Structure 1
Amino acid sequence: MTRSDAKRRIKDVNDVIAGGILLCFSLALVFYLVPNYINEPPILQNPMMSPRWLPGIVGWLIVLFSVLLILQGLLLDRRHEDDERRIEKGPTRRFVLMVAALLTYVALFEAMGAVFTGILATLILFVAHPVRTWWAYGLAFVFPIAVTLIFVNVMNVPLPLSPIGF
């Protein structure tokens, strides 16, 4: 098979590459990370109460959507349409702040707890994407607290709340 034959069969190379990368990561999540790193209590009354349930569902959904993305890249010829997926690069400052928010969340999650790092990462994201309304900054405090409490109290996912035992 020559390069031109492959180009005729693959309609959108970017979709196939993105789908392949997502498929690899999602398979690693489903078959390696979830079973090996998320502990299940020995006595489970309901499988939906397992800490593995939600990551497993998300992993399988990513597998499904990555396969659909690969199929879209192989089957749909969209060259004659306006491609709305063109990437318009934003300022470098925005990219750096978004990476800083992610690194802050990952680095401080265990040490400072889910609530504090969630608030800090959200505030950094608000600076990256200039938020002009005052009430949105209140959401930066409410959402991480609400999400953490839902995960801890409703879904029984043990998260570090704070270093002082909040």
Structure 2
Amino acid sequence: MTRAYVKRRIKDVSDVIAGSILLCFSLALVFYLVPNYINEPPILQNPMMSPRWLPGIVGWMIVLFSILLILQGFLLDRSGEDDERQIEKGSTRRFILMVAALLIYVALFEAMGAVFTGILATLILFVAHPVRTWWAYSLAFVFPIAVTFLFVKVMNVPLPISPIGF
């Protein structure tokens, strides 16, 4: 197959590549990670209360959207349009702060709890992407508390709340 033939058949190579990568990861999630690493209690009254339900739904949605992304790459020709998906490199400082926020969240999640690490990571992300309004910083406190409350009290997902056991 020549390069010109592939170029004619695939209208947007980046969509096909991104969709293929997402499809591989989502299939691994649906068929390997969820069944093998998320334990189900032996007695379930409702299948929707299973800890596997939400990751399974999300995994299947990613499978669907990755297939749609691959199809879009084969069917839609956007060469004449102005492509807004071009990557604009940010500063090195922003990249380092984003990686630091992720590493801090992963490293301190068990030791310091979901609320504290969520607040700290969100504040670092707000510094990385300069947030100028003062009220937005209050969201760095509200969202981790609300998400943790939602997971712990509503969805019964055990999360480490804080190191001192509030």
TM category (shorter chain) comes to over 0.9
Aligned partner of 2:28: which letter?
A: A
Question: Which residue of 1 is the match for residue 7 of structure 2?
Answer: 7
Distance across 1 between alignment mates of 2:126 and 2:113: 20
SS at match of 2:148: helix
Distance across 2 between alignment mates of 1:113 and 1:47: 28
Question: Which residue of 1 is the match for residue 106 of structure 2?
Answer: 106
Question: Which residue of 2 is the match for residue 70 of structure 1?
Answer: 70
Distance across 1 between alignment mates of 2:17 and 2:71: 11
Distance across 2 between alignment mates of 1:108 and 1:27: 29
Moved more, 78-87 or 63-72: 78-87
Q: Which runs of 4+ in 1 moved over 2 A?
A: none
Question: Which residue of 2 is the match for residue 21 of structure 1?
Answer: 21
- TM score, norm. by length of structure 1: 0.96
Moved more, 155-164 or 61-70: 155-164
Q: Give the CA deviation at 1:143.
A: 0.7
- Structure 1 residues not aligned, in runs of 5+: none
Give CA-to-partner distance per residue, 1:23-78, whole Å, 9 cap, x none: 11111111111111111111111111111111111111111111111111111111
Q: Give the CA deviation at 1:154.
A: 0.5
Question: Which residue of 2 is the match for residue 143 of structure 1?
Answer: 143
Question: Which residue of 1 is the match for residue 123 of structure 2?
Answer: 123
Q: Give the CA deviation at 1:135.
A: 1.5
Give CA-to-partner distance per residue, 1:88-108, whole Å, 9 cap, x none: 222111111111111111111
Distance across 2 between alignment mates of 1:27 and 1:103: 26
Count of residue pairs brought into register by the alignment: 166
Distance across 2 between alignment mates of 1:130 and 1:3: 43
Distance across 2 between alignment mates of 1:36 and 1:116: 30
Distance across 1 between alignment mates of 2:156 and 2:52: 11
Structure 1 residues 81-96: aligned runs within 5 Å: 81-96=81-96
Aligned partner of 1:37: which letter?
A: Y
Distance across 1 between alignment mates of 2:162 and 2:141: 15
Taking only the aligned residue pairs, the percentage that are identical comes to 89
- Superposed CA RMSD in Å reads 1.0
SS at match of 2:135: helix
Distance across 2 between alignment mates of 1:85 and 1:26: 22
Distance across 2 between alignment mates of 1:162 and 1:31: 33
Aligned partner of 1:13: which letter?
A: V
Aligned partner of 1:130: which letter?
A: P
SS at match of 1:134: coil
